[in-house]
Amino acid sequence: MDYELVRSKKSMKNNKWLEHNLEDMDKSVKKMVKLIEEDADSLAKKAEMYYQKRPELISLVDEFHRMYRSLAERYDDLSSSDLTTELNNNRLGRPPSRRAPGFDYFLGNNGGGGLPSDLYHKDVDDAASVTDSEQEWDDSSSLASYPGYVSVGSDFQSLTKRVADLEIELREAKERLRMQLEGNTDGLSLTRVKSESKFVDYPAKLAACEQELRDANEKILNSEDQIFMLKNQLARYLPHELDDENGEEGADSTQEMDVESLSEELRIASLRLREAERENGMMRREVEKSKSDELRLKSLQNMLESAQKEAAAWKSKSTADRREVAKLHDRVSMLKHSLAGRDHEIRDLKTALSDAEEKIFPEKAQFKEEITSLLEEKANRDEQFSELEAQVRYLEEEIRRVTNEKTEEEERLKGEIEVLTMEKAVKEICIETVSNKVSKLESEMLLLEYEMKAKDSKTMEMEEEVEKLRSELEEVAEEKREVIRQLCFSLDYSKDECKRLHTMPVQGIDH
């Protein structure tokens, strides 16, 4: 129990940056997922490609999250493993040695290839998290007077910078994902004119892009083979060079950790390049299928340009990784030559650790409680993330179901509109016929009125004729009403006939 407490408290004290950065990473991932979920409706309305990009974005967020947590937890394990060895030595009855605090983090005793938290915070993190370890570092400032301190510290400072570079790269990748998500639809309209002018060169550019992707993939595979050979050489060298004092393993294990980290980055880069190549092939097939659709061709052109830019970026990154592998190979060779001369330094510096044991022991219980709370918080966050993924899948299914229902409803309404349009055309013809007859009758009435005005002077003489004309007008009006009634009957008959004609094909199919 005391062993676990000492390990936990020492780990948390030397890794306050771990707790701080993990909290920031969890918040950033939740914020990114929330951004994807909140923009789901608007993106779906603006572009159909949202449904294709959304699963890929979520998988990339999960991948970055796993990479960052794996890196942080690996550093935590390596920086706390030296304390395990010292406590085991004390249990076996070995005499305490006087060694300066943080010595095992510099020389990697028993595989502890980490870096002391105070030195890490001095180079990478802000000054707010250094206060707890500064006093311990001041008490052991005599460590700098030992031989070989400067060379060992510089090696681990370079590893510290490498870890910081990885963190910065993760943040930049998250920012690029966010910018890609926000500008997913705006880029379509902004580059439409540009894609029209470049459409003629599309096949040649597509072939060149595929060739570049294949070359980059082969180079990355070669780099992975070189790293694997380097690790094998390092593994063959270590059993012959290391003695029973396990302090030498720290520097080489640090190099191996750096090689593994670089190998993991190259593997991830290779997977992403293969994914980009796969997407490029999909875009090419879509272009061949949609030659008649100009708008879709423009959107595919934009996607191709972004893929070309991404391929160029990964190509440059693979070149930088190859240079990094070469530098790492040279540095491992130098460390191999310097391992033999460090035995005496290790024996002298081991005596400085006993002073740190008395300072570390009172803080065991507190560190154990802090680690327990962090583990519980991590489990809760993982559970919340799983629930969010389930909700996302449910919402996607709902969106697809609503889209299908909408399509079926549109087809049904389209059929009803066609039927109503035919009925409207028939009614318009009938109304036009009735209007012509009414106009003819009105013209006759106007003619009669004109004749009545012209013969106003003969009113007395033509009184009988006027009466006759009035009766004729009444008869004409009656005929007009009769004609209107007949037209109404004809209109009803036409409706019935249209309905019968509509139902006849259906009856013929049934028979």
Per-position DSSP letters for 351-367, written without gaps between them: TTBHHHHHHHGGGHHHH
Handedness of CA 54, 56, 57, 58 (dihedral sign): positive
Same domain, 208 and 340: yes
Same domain, 145 and 200: no
Residue from 154, 156, 143, 155 nearest 346 by CA? 143
Same domain, 182 and 241: no
Averaged pLDDT for residues 61-66: 70
Instruction: Kindly indicate the confidence band of residue 448, based on its pLDDT and cuts at 50, 70 and 90.
Output: confident
Residue from 440, 445, 435 nearest 472 by CA? 445
Torsion of CA 163, 164, 168, 174, to 10 degrees: 50
pLDDT of residue 314: 74
Same domain, 39 and 165: yes
* β partners of residue 353: 98
Q: Residues 21-59: pLDDT tens digits?
A: 677 777 777 776 666 665 545 545 555 655 666 676 677
Same domain, 78 and 114: yes
Same domain, 360 and 255: no
Hunting for tokens 């092939």 — which residue is that?
Answer: 281
d(CA 18, CA 276): 32
Same domain, 316 and 363: no
Tokens of 359: 């300072």
Phi, psi of 94, rounded to the nearest 5 degrees = -70, 145
Per DSSP (E only), the strands in 28-74 are none
Name, of 174-183, 287-296, 433-442, the range with top average pLDDT. 433-442
Averaged pLDDT for residues 99-108: 38
d(CA 262, CA 243): 28
Q: Residues 222-246: pLDDT tens digits?
A: 666 666 666 666 566 554 444 444 5
Which of residues 422, 439, 473 is at a domain's end? Answer: 422
Hunting for tokens 């049934």 — which residue is that?
Answer: 510
The residue ranking higher by pLDDT, 342 or 385, is 385
Distances (CA, A) of 176 to 63, 185, 279: 14, 15, 18
The residue segments making up the domain with residue 337 are 191-345
d(CA 114, CA 125): 15
Instruction: Kindly indicate the confidence band of residue 90, based on its pLDDT and cuts at 50, 70 and 90.
Output: very low
Flag whether pLDDT at 187 surpasses 50: no
Window from 264-273, 290-299, 420-429, 486-495 with minimum mean pLDDT: 290-299
DSSP letter assigned to residue 96: P
Which of residues 300, 321, 345 is at a domain's end? Answer: 345
pLDDT of residue 361: 64
Flag whether pLDDT at 409 surpasses 80: yes
The residue ranking higher by pLDDT, 435 or 506, is 435
d(CA 39, CA 392): 13
Domain count, the chain: 3
The DSSP string of 179-234 is HHHHTTTHHHHHTHHHHHHTGGGHHHHHHHHHHHHHHHHHHHHHHHHHHHHHHHHH
Radius of gyration, CA atoms only, the chain: 43
Q: How much is the mean pLDDT over the chain?
A: 64
* β partners of residue 98: 353
Which of residues 345, 369, 390 is at a domain's end? Answer: 345
Averaged pLDDT for residues 94-98: 42
Same domain, 196 and 124: no
Same domain, 229 and 277: yes
d(CA 511, CA 507): 6
Hunting for tokens 């893929």 — which residue is that?
Answer: 307
The residue ranking higher by pLDDT, 434 or 368, is 434
- Whole-prediction pTM: 0.18
Same domain, 474 and 336: no
Same domain, 58 and 15: yes
Q: Residues 335-372: pLDDT tens digits?
A: 666 666 666 666 666 666 666 556 666 666 677 777 88
pLDDT of residue 121: 39
Question: Which residues neighbour 113 within 8 Å (Cβ) at sequence distance 6 or greater?
Answer: 78, 159, 250, 251, 253, 254, 256, 257
Same domain, 257 and 321: yes
pLDDT of residue 9: 46
Q: What percent of the chain has pLDDT over 90?
A: 0
Q: Residues 118-176: pLDDT tens digits?
A: 433 344 344 334 344 443 334 333 333 333 333 434 444 555 565 566 667 666 766 76
